[in-house]
Amino acid sequence: MTIRQELEIREKEILSPYATFSSESRGRERSEEECDIRPVFQRDRDRILHSKSFRRLKQKTQVFLHPMGDHYRTRLTHTLEVSQNARTIAKALRLNEDLVEAIALGHDLGHTPFGHAGERALNAVCSRKFLHNEQSLRVVEVLEKHGQGLNLTWEVRDGILNHKTNGTPHTLEGKIVQLSDKIAYLHHDIDDAIRGGILTEDDIPSEYKKVLGSTTKERLDTFVHDVITQSQGKNQICMSEHIWDALLGIRRFMFQNVYSNPEAKSEEAKAMHMVTNLYEFFMENPKYMPELYWEMMETGVSTKEQAVCDYIAGMTDSYAVSTFLEYFVPESWKN
């Protein structure tokens, strides 16, 4: 018996009957030999962790574009906080930690440079709708490993695709990540907004502080504990009604005071201008894109528009800026 098989047996002994068991995965699109050490979801987690798209998250905006300070979240640190929240909840509920971690680490791989500003810019110029969750799925299915994809299990791909609010994950682990994503960004975006002088703790409405807590730490603790308490012994992931209402309320507050705040978003128009111009440039000059995108167009894997979106969405903030400078700014003006 291999170590992997022993671990699969241990899952059946330890995990909740509502958990997604590694040995019962729906499998991969392309069959392959099983690892003798790692169950399938752990193997997926490792593939995502070692991917190029995961490493690029460290230089992609979360909310604040190029903030002055080292402690603001990036897309990578957001991803790690989602993963940690999800693992804490999964462990307490005896669900599959490997699966939640794989979904959490992969959920934002398709995010554009400059955060949601870049996503809005691509969405505005594409003939088809550009959504970062669909792009994340495309990254793991097609773009990684020079067009081969990561060949992840169905459960991980389902969780990545359905992590947004309007998604419907088919596993409890996917539902944990979906909720952990909201908890993470509300928690750390408040923290970053206070750090950046956009908010003070006193600005947060008292009606939400009474329910959730008076500090970012207290609010995170309230969210995580409530999900665990409300979901124990159930075949669903849920929050109590008053905590959920407070979460939605503080989310509305953040959209009004941070996500749409002119001071916090003063640079977004410039970022969207760059993305729009890069899209138009590569649509007219696709020969300037790397070989991978040419090959996918020639083999019919991608249309030209899809290839251009793939290329731009994969850029880091700094690479997008340097590419814009290369094609739109005269050499003599760069110094």
Q: Would the pLDDT of 66 be above 90?
A: no
- Confidence class for position 62, pLDDT limits 50, 70, 90: confident
DSSP of 56-101? HGGGSBSSSSS-SSS-S-BHHHHHHHHHHHHHHHHHHTT--HHHHH
**Mean pLDDT value across residues 70-79:** 87
pLDDT digits (tens, 9 = 90+) for 250-268: 999 999 888 877 766 678 8
Distance of alpha carbon 21 from alpha carbon 52, whole angstroms: 28
245 or 198, greater pLDDT: 245
Distance of alpha carbon 12 from alpha carbon 10, whole angstroms: 5
pTM of the complete model beyond 0.85: yes
Judged by average pLDDT, the poorest of 64-68, 118-122, 235-239, 301-305 is 64-68
What are the residues whose beta carbons fall under 8 Å from the beta carbon of 168, sequence distance 6 or more? Answer: 162
Judged by average pLDDT, the poorest of 75-84, 296-305, 306-315 is 296-305
Question: Do residues 34 and 4 make contact, with C-beta atoms less than 8 angstroms apart?
Answer: yes
Q: Would the pLDDT of 4 be above 90?
A: yes
Judged by average pLDDT, the poorest of 109-113, 185-189, 235-239 is 185-189
DSSP of 279-306? HHHHHH-GGGS-HHHHHHHHTTSS-HHH
The predicted pLDDT at position 268 comes to 87
Residue 153, strand partner residues: 28
Would you mind telling me the total number of residues written for the chain in this entry?
335
The DSSP H or E segment spanning 186 is helix 172-195
- Confidence class for position 52, pLDDT limits 50, 70, 90: very high
Distance of alpha carbon 114 from alpha carbon 268, whole angstroms: 8
Mean pLDDT of the chain: 93
**Mean pLDDT value across residues 5-13:** 98
Our measurement of the distance from residue 224's CA atom to the centroid of its chain's CA atoms, rounded to an integer in Å, reads 19
Residue 74, strand partner residues: 61
pLDDT digits (tens, 9 = 90+) for 180-230: 999 999 998 998 888 888 899 999 999 999 999 999 999 999 999 999 999
Q: Would the pLDDT of 14 be above 70?
A: yes
Tell me which residue has tokens 């462990």.
91
The predicted pLDDT at position 264 comes to 64
The predicted pLDDT at position 67 comes to 62
Q: Which 3 state secondary structure label does DSSP give 244?
A: helix
The predicted pLDDT at position 136 comes to 98
Q: Would the pLDDT of 59 be above 90?
A: yes
Read off φ and ψ for residue 171, nearest 5 degrees.
-125, 155
**Mean pLDDT value across residues 7-12:** 98
Q: Would the pLDDT of 312 be above 70?
A: yes
Q: Which 3 state secondary structure label does DSSP give 149?
A: coil
Radius of gyration of the chain (CA): 21
